[in-house]
Amino acid sequence: MRPMRLDMAGFTVFREETTVDFTDADFFALVGPTGSGKSTVLDAICFALYGTVPRWGGARGLANALAPSANEARVRLVFESAGDRYVATRVVRRDGRGTVKTANAGLQLMPPGFDITKLDTGLSPEDLGEVVAGTPAEMERAVLDAVGLPYEQFTSCVVLPQGQFADFLHAKPATRQQILVNLLGLGIYEEVQKRATERAGQAEAKLETVDKLLGGLADVDDATLADVRGQVDRMRDLAEAVAVAVPELERARATAREQAAELAALDAELTVLAGVRPPDGIAELARAEAAAREAADEATAAVGLAEEREEKLRGELAAAGDESALRLLLKAHGDREKLTGEAATVRSAVTTAQAEHDAALVALTAARAAAERVEAQLEAAFRAHEEAKATDQAVALRAHLVAGAPCPVCEQEVSRVPAVPAGSAVARAVAAGKAARAASEAAKRLVQERDAAARELDRVLLRARAEHDQLRVRLTELDEQLAEAAAPQTLREGLAEHARLRRALEEAAGAVRAGREAARQARGALDGAQERLRRAWRQFDTTRDGLARFGPPAADRDDVAAAWTALTGWANEQADRRRVDREARAASVGTAEAAAGEVEARIGEFFTAAGLAKPGDPLRDTAVAVERAEAELRRLQERREQAAELREQRAGHEREARVARALAGHLRANNFERWLLAEALDLLVDGASRILRELSGGQYDLVHDKGEFFVVDHHDAGLRRGVRTLSGGETFQASLALALSLSEQLAGMSTSAASLESIVLDEGFGTLDAATLDTVAATLENLAARGDRMVGVVTHVPALAERIPVRFEVRKDARTARVERTGR
């Protein structure tokens, strides 16, 4: 597998679209700072092919394919393998629930000579070539067929990721052996053994089937063949005899059929003539039609009389005046009497309300006068209170006065100190004031109550007067309405006459409806009688038309009963004549059928003599018998030929089973495959030992024993020790030697499509000293210079990167990583 072009978008650190063009990059390096995304380029190659990456930990790490905050990742790899060019594509998406799944995976075989630069022009997937796989499940098998390596071996031999560089060196012997089997295509011998076993089983199964078929062909001897040929001759003789007798049988049967047909025709005519019978009650149809017509005329006349009476009553009812107007006038008389009584009641209520209203006004006036008097008393109490406070203040000063001393108020000499009165004037004034305030509040409440009562009585009086006015207006209107109206008694008599006329009108209308219904029924009876009469004539015409071939007599169209009587008499005469002819016709039919029976019995004897059942159709049955005998002869001959062919096939299947079983037995022990693996491992270890000796400055050789790898340390007296005892740098040298040897030796040893057309190393160069690093670089240069494989390294060691002609510099900013090709 040799990568040609890698396209990434939304894949881990490569958020934006990035293309790595490996065209003509036979020896390249992926360089850049630690964490810039160098190893991610190799991850993308593995992901495009196998859908996973070593450092993701399997399918559960699929979410790692998405760049931060991205919902989709796309990777497309164009690669060459065994001379063919493929394009592998994988798309990963995050759905609305946050689950990351593979949305698309496919592998296509590109047309020969396809220019991969056209991928930049936006070609559709259909333009990229034949679809080899279209689902993740199909991809697994298709990639294995195209690359020749499963995922685990691909990451051990082609793309050697960080942390797994020494996998092949430290692998278990069985694992390492399986890798070599796949790489060298030695599985073909196991496949040959399996196919030889299958071929032997198939041949033995065919042999068993042929034996069963031959067992079923035991009855194909010469005696059976002679018996079958004799049966064919007998059937042919029968066919000749039947061919002579059948025309005679057909002539006899034709004569019998003709005689029977004439007899049947005569019987049919007798049946038709005997069936001529007049319908029941045909004589009463005309009388019934006349009676129905008379009843219909009488019903029509009765309807006319009833309609005339109805129309007369309608005129009388219209002349009696408008009933609704009479009812309105009578109602107006009643309303006036009612309103007159209501008006007297309202006038009395108005008088009472007026008296109560006047009394309320008088009481209100008295309450207001009393309130004014109480208010004056309250004002006097306030003034008395002020005077009492001045008196008490003066009394209070007397306690401090001294006769002969100056007054503290007026500063005059006090000639005599007055006596101090008993009790407080203020207290007496306050008590009088409280009593006056209580009386004032009571007077105010009384005024409010009486004012409210007066207002309510005023509203009552206004409502009563308004109601009285409305009644007077209504009475005036009724007086005007009834000014020219009749008296109530007269109006009642007019309404009674209206009721009488309406009842009479309803009775007349009922009589009209009843008469019309009777007329309708009478017309229906007439129509039914007429239809029955027409049906009788139609039946007569149909019967007569059915006798037209016999020449019936003419009919009297005025009397259907007479017409039926004449036709029936004529039909009976015709039937009597034909009964006389029938006896002779019946005798002729019997004679013809007896002759046909004799010929048919003779043919039956032919079939009985040939050992066959009585025939249904002699010619057909003899043809079938001849065909069956000849078919049995042909089947026997074919079975004889089949038996001969089966005996030849049996010999061929027996030889094939013997050869296939022998080949499978030779390959079943796997000795040949083990010898090939041992030889391949010897070559691989010899080449790796040479490279390791060069890389270690002559210190180490690599050897193997029973599938395990060991190193021979020449700096320690040729001590042999396991490869797991090597230091980190020594392990890198040994792993590199194995990887390079595997890449060198595979092309000459492989028998299958699995070929290491490229090798990419992603580990360890920073642990090497300058001399070892120079040796490694020279080794890689020599490997790339051979031109039969691509060599790539991932490194951040400048000394190594400068010696590699093509460099892909990987840089990463805050948003995305980018790859730029430098060098030649």
For residue range 254-283, list pLDDT tens digits in order. 887 887 888 788 788 778 877 787 777 776
Mean pLDDT of 54-68: 77
Residue 182 reports pLDDT greater than 90: no
Dump pLDDT digits (tens) for 138-152: 999 999 889 887 887
Q: In what order do the strands lie in the sheet with 18-21?
A: 18-21, 2-9, 72-81, 84-94, 100-109, 130-133
Residue 451 contacts by C-beta under 8 Å, 6 or more apart in sequence? 364
- Give residues with Cβ within 8 angstroms of 767, minimum separation 6: 728, 729, 732
Whether 8 contacts 14, CB under 8 Å: yes
Residue among 371, 339, 362, 367 at smallest CA distance from 457: 362
> Between these two residues, 477 and 594, which has the higher pLDDT value?
594
CA distances from 223 to 107, 437, 629, 634 (A): 67, 162, 16, 15
Question: Does the pTM of the predicted model rise above 0.75?
Answer: no
Residue 509, helix vs strand vs coil:
helix
| Exposure b/e, 172-193, CB count within 10 A at least 16 = b | eeebbbbbbbbbbbbbebeeeb
CA torsion, points 547, 553, 559, 561, in degrees to nearest 10? Answer: -50
On average, the pLDDT of the chain sits at 79
Whether the Cβ atoms of residue 154 and residue 81 lie closer than 8 Å to each other: no
411 torsion bin: left (phi>0), alpha (psi -120 to 50), beta (else): left
Ranges 504-513, 570-579, 633-642, 802-811, most confident: 802-811
pLDDT band at 22 (very low <50, low <70, confident <90, very high): very high
| Per-residue tokens: 407 | 């007054």
CA distance 587 to 594: 11
Higher pLDDT, 319 or 569: 569
Residues 237-251, mean pLDDT to the nearest whole number: 80
DSSP 281: T
26 compared with 312, residue with greater pLDDT:
26
pLDDT for 162 equals 53
512 within 8 A of 307, measured Cβ to Cβ: yes
State whether residue 706 is helix, strand or coil. coil
The tokens describing 26, both together, are 């036979």
- pLDDT at position 818, please? 94
Residues 251 and 254: their CA atoms lie apart, in Å, by: 5
What is the rounded distance in angstroms from the CA atom of residue 496 to the CA atom of residue 769? 143
Alpha-carbon gap, residue 602 to 608, rounded angstroms: 10
pLDDT on residue 753: 45
What is the edge-to-edge ordering of all strands in the sheet holding 719-722?
A: 700-705, 708-713, 719-722
145-159, 286-300, 530-544, 788-802, range with greatest mean pLDDT: 788-802
Q: Between residues 644 and 339, which one has the greater pLDDT?
A: 644
pLDDT digits (tens, 9 = 90+) for 640-668: 777 777 778 778 878 877 887 777 676 66
What does 418-473 look like in DSSP terms, one character per residue?
Answer: PPPPSS-HHHHHHHHHHHHHHHHHHHHHHHHHHHHHHHHHHHHHHHHHHHHHHHHH
Reply yes or no on whether the pLDDT at 752 is more than 60.
no
Q: How many CB atoms lie within 10 A of CB 741?
A: 22
How many helical (H) and strand (E) elements, i.e. helices and strands, does the chain have?
17, 15
Residue carrying the six token digits 């390791």 = 692
Lowest mean pLDDT among 205-214, 240-249, 553-562, 670-679: 670-679
Instruction: Work out the average pLDDT over 518-546.
Output: 78
* CA 329 – CA 451 distance, rounded (Å): 49
What is the Cα–Cα distance from 427 to 423, expressed in whole angstroms? 8
Of 670, 689, 667, 668, nearest in space to 678 by CA: 670
What's residue 671's pLDDT? 65
**Residue 808 bridge partners (DSSP):** 30, 821
CB-count exposure of residue 78 (10 Å: 0-12, 13-18, 19+): buried
Long-range pairs, 124-131, Cβ under 8 A, ≥24: 125/89, 128/87, 129/87, 131/106, 131/107
pLDDT reported for residue 647: 75
Average confidence (pLDDT) over 226-239 = 80
Cβ neighbors of 577 (< 8 A, separation 6 or more) are: none
For helices 618-668 and 560-609, angle between their N-to-C axes, nearest 10 degrees: 60
Q: What is the pLDDT of residue 61?
A: 74
Q: What's the rounded Cα separation, in Å, for the pair 39 and 162?
A: 8
Res 608: pLDDT: 81
The whole-angstrom separation of Cα 474 and Cα 480 is 10
- Count of beta carbons in the 10 Å neighbourhood of residue 223: 8
Residues 6+ apart with CB under 8 A from 167: 155, 156, 160
Q: Name the pLDDT band for 77 (thresholds 50, 70, 90).
A: very high
User: What is the number of residues in the chain?
Assistant: 824
Q: Record the tokens describing residue 718, joined without a space.
A: 């040729």
- State mean pLDDT over 213-229: 73
pLDDT at 161: 57
Q: Assign residue 419 a region: left if phi > 0, alpha if psi is -120 to 50, beta otherwise?
A: beta
669: pLDDT strictly greater than 60: no
- Quote the CA–CA distance of 334 and 336 in Å, as a whole number: 5
Report the sign of the C-alpha dihedral through residues 623, 629, 634, 635, in that order. Answer: positive
